[in-house]
Structure 1
Amino acid sequence: MQPEEMENTFSQCKSLHLSRVDLSRKGSIDDDIYPVVSLLNNSPNYFTTSSCSGRVIVIDGLSETSEIQKQNCSWLFVTHQKCSEEDVISGLRNSRGSAVFKFEPFVLHVQCKDITSARLLLSVAVQSGFRNSGVSIGKRDKIILAVRSTHCLEVPLSHTGEIMVNEKYIHFLVQAANQKMTENLHRIKRFYAGVQAALQSDESSCTTNLNHPSKKRHCKQASEKKQDSMIEQNRFPSNKLGDPEDYFEDGLALFS
């Protein structure tokens, strides 16, 4: 596919996706990441496909299954902010199966126009503390970047409706989750600042004489060289994402 065809296809895909109704459970973008999502969607090289600012949840799985899956459970409590001990206990009282307390950090999926744009955003994500981020190349060369980190928390609280922990332990869990939420919000702010700086730098470095083929090549090569240097300084840890299919469409996941 020629570059112009790829650009037209990406633009059409972006327009179609952003015009769709939000079918998520919440039905809207979380307040804490609205600036990040807006910044990326206003860029010609990106658009977001799904996101969550981070949340604390208590979910109740089916008592006869050993593996709790979100599609087979009831949500006893959820918040995208810091939680309180009282809210968790109140939700837990409604447990009829095996309840689990979870903190899930910020996650963002972004479709990128090309691999150069993906590399730029990936380097920003890694530098911002989201070191479990990665890129997937799917069908028809669709490039999806997942921005993720690893500071999760998951603890069982009840079994077959019987609460297995005391309030003192729940207090401890709430404090731990709230600390993680604070760090999560700090990383989001760093990511937003990094994206803003990267987009401004990328735009300003390629604003002159772009109609000349040699200038285009020089700009692209300089951008890729800069991104290689940024990624080299921020190599990923040896642990990789779990199952790429949990977050991406069928395709090849690229990780360091």
Structure 2
Amino acid sequence: MNWNRFREETLEKYRKAEIDRWIKPITDDINSADCFVTLSSCAGRFAVMDMPEFGDKRNSVFLGKWHDVPAVEDVLTAIRKGVMETWFMLHPPILHVSCKDLESARILLDILRKAGFRRAGIISLKRMVVEIAGQERIEFIAARNGQVFTDAGVLRENYLEAVKKLEMGRKRFEKFHSIFREVFL
């Protein structure tokens, strides 16, 4: 693999892509270091999905998807629209970073450990890809066949817990960003 060519081609795609506003300063700084290039990113998201059964992504429909914290009423409205199994989900922030070599990946993993990431790791040796993912996740079935399982108060409490978890995950990414900047910029 010719690292410089691969990195430049990937950066060209990055410059044209729509990057979640919250995570963009982090990806910009990672991409400014010559030994790294980001492949994909997500700032974390809230989602309400309708699916025939959990895991059936092919036949699933997003009833709501937000990369910023949505209003609780928007989430409740999306849940009430469900006609199959309706799931509320919070997915944590995630980044995939290709590293120039194993030593660069090791340094990145050391920074991640210092920032509190316990499950970050190399997921591909071909492109030396490190996955950086938060652990803060919530998934629960909120309705089936249009029947909401609980009252709005319980759904609100779960929503508030999801907001806290997203904030926790983002704080860990911000800590990583700070340490990364100290080491590389």
Q: Which structure has the larger Rg over C-alpha atoms?
A: 1
The partner residue of 1:187 within 172, 177, 184 is 172
Taking the aligned partners of 1:190 and 1:13, their CA distance within structure 2 comes to 28
**Corresponding residue for residue 44 of structure 2:** 54
**Corresponding residue for residue 14 of structure 1:** 7
Instruction: Please give the root-mean-square deviation of Cα atoms over the aligned residues, in Å.
Output: 1.9
Deviations 1:86-111 (A, max 9, x none): 01111112211111111111110000
**Corresponding residue for residue 156 of structure 2:** 171
Taking the aligned partners of 2:6 and 2:38, their CA distance within structure 1 comes to 11
TM-score, reference length from structure 1: 0.68
Are residue 133 (structure 1) and residue 120 (structure 2) matched?
A: yes
Moved over 6 A (4+): none
How many residue pairs get matched? 185
Deviations 1:113-144 (A, max 9, x none): 00000011111112212211111333xx3200
Taking the aligned partners of 2:9 and 2:158, their CA distance within structure 1 comes to 42
How far apart are residue 174 of structure 1 and its match? 0.9
The partner residue of 1:81 within 68, 88, 94 is 68
Taking the aligned partners of 1:15 and 1:53, their CA distance within structure 2 comes to 23
Aligned partner letter, 2:184: L
Aligned partner letter, 1:74: V
How far apart are residue 21 of structure 1 and its match? 7.2
**Corresponding residue for residue 182 of structure 2:** 197
Deviations 1:36-93 (A, max 9, x none): 100111111010001111111111112xxx3334343111112222232201111112
State the SS of the aligned residue for 1:191.
Answer: helix
Aligned partner letter, 1:169: V
- The 1:44–1:79 alpha-carbon spacing in structure 2 relative to 1, beyond 3 Å, is same
- The 1:71–1:51 alpha-carbon spacing in structure 2 relative to 1, beyond 3 Å, is farther
Preserved contact between residue 85 and residue 143 of structure 2 (Cα < 8 Å): yes
Query: Runs of 5+ in structure 1 lacking a partner?
Result: 1-5, 201-256
Query: Runs of 5+ in structure 2 lacking a partner?
Result: none
The partner residue of 2:85 within 74, 95, 98 is 98
What is the 5 A alignment of 1:1-256? 9-20=2-13, 28-62=18-52, 66-138=53-125, 141-200=126-185
More strand by share: 2
Taking the aligned partners of 2:38 and 2:155, their CA distance within structure 1 comes to 35
State the SS of the aligned residue for 2:13.
Answer: coil
Preserved contact between residue 134 and residue 147 of structure 1 (Cα < 8 Å): yes
Preserved contact between residue 131 and residue 148 of structure 1 (Cα < 8 Å): no
Deviations 1:179-221 (A, max 9, x none): 1122122112111101111214xxxxxxxxxxxxxxxxxxxxx
Taking the aligned partners of 1:166 and 1:160, their CA distance within structure 2 comes to 16
TM-score, reference length from structure 2: 0.92
Aligned partner letter, 2:30: L
Aligned partner letter, 2:62: W
